[in-house]
Amino acid sequence: SMVRHYNFSVVMKNVTKLCGTKSIVTINGKFPGPTLYAREDDNMVVRVVNHVQYNVTLHWHGVRQLRTCWADGPAYITQCPIQPGQNYVYNFTITGQRGTLLWHAHITWLRATLHGAIVILPKRGTPYPFPKPDKEKIIVLGEWWKADTEAVLNQAIQTGLPPNVSDAHTMNGHPGPVPNCSSQGYTLHVESGKTYLLRIINAAVNDELFFQMAEHNLTVVEVDASYTKPINTDSIFIGPGQTTNALLTAHKSSGKYLIAISPFMDAPVGLDNSTSTGTLVYSGTTLSSPTVSMAIPPLNATPVEFSFIDSLRSLNSKEYPANVPLTIDHSLFFTISVGVNPCSTCVNGTRLVAALNNVSFVMPNISILEAHYHNIGGVYTDDFPGYPPIPFNYTGTGPSNIQTMNGTRVYRLPFNSTVQIVLQGTSIIAPENHPTHLHGFNFFAVGKGLGNFDPVKDPFKFNLVDPVERNTIGVPTGGWTAIRFWADNPGVWFLHCHLEVHTTWGLKMAFIVENGKGPNESLLPPPGDFPKC
């Protein structure tokens, strides 16, 4: 293993897209941002210097951060922001993981432009558990607004209304193609007969996406930096925060083939519904040859989404066993809902809120991690949700109890306890799939169903053998998802919907995992340059 040093300067940069130029927040002037390369077991030292007028934090999405919660990054959960003119070194080791992840800003909506890939290669001498590709390509999917994204966010907060949707989806920064804007869209160059490992990352702010290519199926081999059984598919579904590695065989002799990203939503309202396309181009193909196209899943293609998600399984080989917790110490049930609360200064006298178990999370003024570590009172309460869950017909359309209260409430877990969370989606106000992300852990997605979770019957249907292991999972509209994990990482760990608009509205909470008693079971002390509020 080695130490890898990266210098990340946060700087403004003028970027032109969709016939317009705007100044965006970037790392080192790049959009998407620079790729972090590592091998399993490497020590990453990322020095961040903030040269912009915004407070900034960075998060290494999916990196376990064993004992280094100080480097995790969500603002006011594990750290105070890096203020203008200040710097902070994120120092962490990649342990027991290999594959593709992403890094992104974790404050306000800065992740719209502050994001990039993390590529973790297996240990030297350890092969991939699939045929070695000839080449690897990173494809970062994103969303582009013509307006300034911080202004879009602030307007939504002030009015209490949904934010303006983005103007285009992007592949490696390319919307497209856009007539008269000299944008050709993204091009993927391939050579006939070769195989490619595509590292696909959804770094979009609010949209779940389908990714597909004309006349080229893909073989998924890994999601969220966990190997899967190989799955052959014509359409990949990927939510914000999720990553998918897939093998592409360039089986044609020549030609041009469409690549498309299109959004998914059960009830298609309030999202950017535009498809963006790029082109897969074989070497030797003449410029004028036509592009072969394909059918694109409609916005509400729930069957396409379900069949992809349900097909995923952990590799569960001798080298990469699925260590699923078989007994559960903490069995939790979280409802996910979107509602309205009174707001005297808002446009309609109400504002949109989102909640877990009817609690809309309020950000504290210092980080929960510091309050926990230094025993500072008055920052949070460890009584999440704070009352017995309010039962209602979760998957009905109302009238229902969607009354939401505010609180900075956490749930405390003893070291190495086993946890099951049933995430129950609801259909009230915003019937949609919620890509839910847990920091600090991978979890096993042991079950999923439509309707209300049945605690007596449904657990018998759980897959406890080879469930897919991930860090972000969709909770279906009017349905539920069950996850299990080992609380073997001391610290404060955020759980939230990775649709940033829902995080803004309060769809988030945190776990505190206590120190263990063993020699390597406690949180390390904070670094000397840890930012202050």
**Site residues (vs ligand C2O, CB under 6 A):** 59, 61, 74, 104, 106, 241, 437, 439, 494, 496, 498
**Amino acid at site 455:** P
Label residue 44 exposed, middle or buried (CB < 10 Å: 0-12, 13-18, 19+).
buried
Closest to 339 (Cα-Cα) out of 507, 484, 195, 212: 507
Nearer to ligand C2O, 241 or 476 (CB): 241
CA-only gyration radius of the chain, Å: 22
Nearer to ligand C2O, 106 or 256 (CB): 106
Nearer to ligand C2O, 255 or 440 (CB): 440
Nearer to ligand C2O, 324 or 336 (CB): 336
**Amino acid at site 518:** G
CB of 494 to ligand C2O, least distance (A): 5
Nearer to ligand C2O, 322 or 359 (CB): 359
Closest to 380 (Cα-Cα) out of 402, 403, 362, 354: 362
CB of 118 to ligand C2O, least distance (A): 11
CB of 59 to ligand C2O, least distance (A): 5
Q: What is the DSSP string of 497-526?
A: ESSHHHHHHT-EEEEEEPP-SSTT-SPPPP
CB-based burial, 166-185: b 16+ in 10 Å, e otherwise: bbbbbbbbbbbebeeeebeb
Nearer to ligand C2O, 115 or 216 (CB): 115
C-beta separation of 80 from 70 below 8 A = no
Closest residue to ligand C2O, based on beta-carbon distance: 61
Label residue 504 exposed, middle or buried (CB < 10 Å: 0-12, 13-18, 19+).
buried
Question: How does strand 417-425 pair with strand 479-487?
Answer: antiparallel
Nearer to ligand C2O, 241 or 447 (CB): 241
**Amino acid at site 396:** G
